[in-house]
Chains A and B, each alone.
Chain A
Amino acid sequence: MREMTLIQAVNDGLRTALADDSRVILLGEDIGKNGGVFRATEGLCEEFGEDRVVDTPLAEAGIIGASVGLAANGLIPVPEIQFMGFIYSGFEQIVSHVARLRMRSRGRFTVPMVIRVPYGGRIRAPELHSDSTETFFAHTPGLTVVSPSNPYDAKGLLLAAVKSPDPVLFLEPMHIYRAFRQSVPDEAYTVPIGEARVVKEGRHVTVITWGAMVRDVMDAVPKLEAQRGIELEVIDLRTLAPWDEDTVFASVRKTGRAVIVHEAVTNLGLGAELSARIHEHCILDLEAPVARVGGLDVPVPLFQLEDLHAPTYTRIERAIDKVLEF
C-alpha cells in the first residue's frame, strides 16, 4: 500500500500492466521522454524501452487508427490522447472502427485497447483544453466508457480496462489529478467495469455523479444534510457506458428522488439518458421528477469563467431543493 494521487495511481496502473503482460504497448504524444504532459507515463519509457512506450508523431487519427491494427494483430495498445478537446480528429477512427470492428467482422477481429484521455475543466488551461464530451462516446454502441473519481479506482479500473475484451475509453478527471491522496495496493487488482459505487448511503435523495464531480458533491453533502435534516445517497457511476442500472434503480426506488450532477453541458449530456431511464423504470417510486445539474449549455469558456460553467454549489443545492419540495 502506498498513498498516491490519482495521476500517480494511473502511472502505477500502467507500470503494472506493462510488467504483467508483454502485449501491452503505450503510444501517444510526449508520453516517452517527457513522461506525458501530466506525468502519467513518467519513468515508463526508461523502464520498458522505446518500443513499448512510444512517442508518436502528432496525429490522433494515426494513433487511434494504428491502435486498431495493433490490437487486431495481437497487441494491447493503450493510446494516450493529450486532452479530450484534441480527440476529435481521432473520432472517426473511434466511432467507425474501434467501436465496430468486432461486429463488422462477426467477431473475427477484436480491438481490445484502452484509450486514455484527461477530461473536464477547472485547471486554468487554455481554450479547448477543458471539454467534457463523454456523451459522444457513451452514445456510441460497442464502446465502454469509464471514469475513476479516486486513486484506488483509477488503478483498478485501468487494469480491468486493459483486461477487457472490448475497447475502453478511460476518462481521467484532470481537476482531481493531484487533489488528494489515497492508499493504493502495490499489487495488481481490478475494479469491475460496469459497477457503480455507492459512496455514501442515505434515505432521502440519490445523487448520481462521476469523475471530478464526486468530490464536489461529497464536499457539499455535510452542509446540505445539516441544513435540511436529510440524508443523501451518493452514487459514483464509474462506468458511464454501459452504466449500472441495478445500483441506480435500487437506490432511486429506496429514496424516491434523484439528482444527476455532471460537468458536461446539460443539453443531451449523460444526465438526460439517466433521467429518461429512471423515469421509464422507476416512475411509480418517484416522489419528484429527476433533476439534472450539468454544465451551462455553452462552450467551456476561457478560464476566468470556467468555474461558473461547471455545476456550482448553488446549482447542486437548488436541484436538491427542487426534488425535495416538488
Chain B
Amino acid sequence: MQKPSDIAHEMLVRMYRQMSLLREFDRRSVRLQRAGRIGTYPPLEGQEACQVASTLALRAQDFVVPTYRDYGAMMVHGVPMENILMYWNGRSEGCEIPHDVNVFPIAVPIATQLPHAAGLAWAAKLKKEDQVALGFFGDGASSEGDFHEAMNFAGVFKLPVVFFCENNQYAISVPFARQTATETIAQKAAAYGVTGLRVPGWDAVAIYRAVRDAVSRAAEGGGPTLIEALTYRYGPHTTSDDPTKYRPAGEAEAWRERDALHLLSQSLRTFGLWDDELETALAKEIDETIRSAIAIMESLGPVNPLHLFDHVYASLPKYLQRQRDTLLSELSADAIRTSLPKEPSQ
C-alpha cells in the first residue's frame, strides 16, 4: 500500500488500535459465552475494518444505525464496552446509550433498521442540520423488502444517508448466491437513483475513503450512497451456530490470508508508524480496557426485576402499576418460600 496522503497518520493509527481492540474483545466475548458468563453472542471477527474504518469516517453528530453484529461500530461511535457486554448478558442496562452519543439500538429483525436510517437522515434534512446517518446491514438483509423501501425513500427524497453492506458471504447458512441473482449488492443502487460502489472489506483505508466521501457528498446535498464491502466472518453466525455444516473447509482460512488487521499492521510498519514496542503497549492497554469492562458487567449483581416495567411507557398506566405492585408482593412471597420445600421446576 502507498502511504495515503489524504488521511492523517493519527487516523491510520487510530483505526489500527480500534480494530485490534475489537478483535480481542470479540475473542474474549466468545470465551465468556462458552464459560456461561454471557448469553448467545454473534462474533464479528473478520469484519473489524468494515465497522471501524466506516465509523471513524463519521463526525460526532452523525448517526450509527447498527444490527446485532455492529456493536463494534457502536463502541467506536461512543457506546461503552460494558454496555455491549451487559446487552449480550441479557441485562436491560445494556440498552443504555449515552445522551450525547448518536447510536441507534441494536436491530435484531433483519433489515428493519434501514428505513430508520433513512428517517433519521430525512429529519436532519428537514431541520437543516448537518447530520448523516450510516446504516449497517448484511448481504442477507438485501433480500428483505425493508432494504428496498429504505433505498427508495433515500433516493426519492435525496437523503443524507449511507447504507453500508457488510457482505460477509453468508446469511447464517445461506450463501450470497441464494440472496440475489445480481453479481453485486452495489449495483442495486442504480435502480433507486442512489450512488453505489463496492470496496474490499479487508482494506481499511479504502473503506475509510469510501465512507468519508459518501458522508461529505451527503452533507453537501449530493444524496445517498450504498457501499458494499466484501468481507467474511471467520467464526460462526452466533455462538449457537456450526459453520462447518454449510461452509467448505479451508474457506475461512483462505480469507484470513488477506486479513484486514494484519494488512493494516504491515502497512503501518512500512510507513514507520508502528513497531513491536507499540504493539506490546497496545496489547496491554487492550487487556486492561476489556478486563475493566467485564469487571463492571460482573459487579452488577442480580438484575432488578422492576426493570421489566421501566421505559415501556413514558408513565406507567394504572393496570401496569398494579402488575408491578403484584410482582413486588410475589417476589417477597418467593423469598419466604425458599425456606419451604423446593418448587416444581419450570
A binds B: yes
Could you list which residues of chain A lie within 8 angstroms of chain B, going by C-beta atoms? 29-30, 32-35, 37, 55-62, 85-86, 88-89, 122, 124-129, 216, 219-220, 222-223, 267, 296-299, 301-309, 312-315, 318
- Nearest B-chain residue to A82, judged by Cβ: B172
In the bound complex, CA of A299 to CA of B312 (Å): 8
B40 close to A301 (CB less than 8 A): no
Selecting from B45-53, B140-148, B150-158, B197-205, the interface stretch reads B140-148
A214 to B: closest C-beta gap in Å: 13
Contacts of A296 in B (CB 8 A): 308-309, 323, 327
Residue picked from A89, A222, A223, A305, most chain B C-beta under 10 Å: A305
Which residues of B196-218 have CB atoms within 8 Å of chain A's CB atoms? none
- Nearest A-chain residue to B145, judged by Cβ: A61
Contacts of A35 in B (CB 8 A): 245
B174 close to A58 (CB less than 8 A): yes
In the bound complex, CA of A313 to CA of B346 (Å): 8
Which residues of B222-246 have CB atoms within 8 Å of chain A's CB atoms? 240-241, 245-246
In the bound complex, CA of A301 to CA of B86 (Å): 13
A302 close to B143 (CB less than 8 A): no
Can you list 18 A-B pairs, Cβ within 8 angstroms, ordered by A? A33-B245, A35-B245, A55-B178, A57-B180, A58-B143, A89-B112, A124-B40, A124-B90, A126-B39, A126-B68, A126-B108, A267-B319, A298-B308, A305-B305, A305-B307, A308-B305, A313-B346, A318-B330
In the bound complex, CA of A30 to CA of B241 (Å): 11
Q: Does B135 count as interface, using CB distance less than 8 angstroms?
A: no
| Range class of the B interface residue count | 35 or more
Q: Does B272 count as interface, using CB distance less than 8 angstroms?
A: no
Which residues of B323-341 have CB atoms within 8 Å of chain A's CB atoms? 323, 327, 330, 333-334, 337
Given known A-B contacts A29-B171, A57-B179, A126-B108, A89 and B319 have beta carbons under 8 A apart: no
Given known A-B contacts A37-B172, A308-B308, A315-B330, A59 and B245 have beta carbons under 8 A apart: no
B29 to A: closest C-beta gap in Å: 13
Q: Does B61 count as interface, using CB distance less than 8 angstroms?
A: no
Contacts of A128 in B (CB 8 A): 108-109
A219 close to B305 (CB less than 8 A): no
Q: Does B97 count as interface, using CB distance less than 8 angstroms?
A: no
Given known A-B contacts A127-B108, A299-B312, A312-B330, A304 and B323 have beta carbons under 8 A apart: no
A89 close to B146 (CB less than 8 A): yes
Contacts of B255 in A (CB 8 A): none
- Nearest B-chain residue to A35, judged by Cβ: B245
Contacts of B98 in A (CB 8 A): none
A85 close to B108 (CB less than 8 A): yes
Given known A-B contacts A29-B171, A301-B307, A309-B308, A34 and B146 have beta carbons under 8 A apart: no
Q: Does B116 count as interface, using CB distance less than 8 angstroms?
A: no
Residue picked from A35, A58, A219, A298, most chain B C-beta under 10 Å: A58
In the bound complex, CA of A128 to CA of B87 (Å): 13
B246 close to A34 (CB less than 8 A): yes
Residue in A34, A59, A309 whose CB lies within 8 Å of B144:
A59
In the bound complex, CA of A55 to CA of B175 (Å): 10
Q: Does B4 count as interface, using CB distance less than 8 angstroms?
A: no
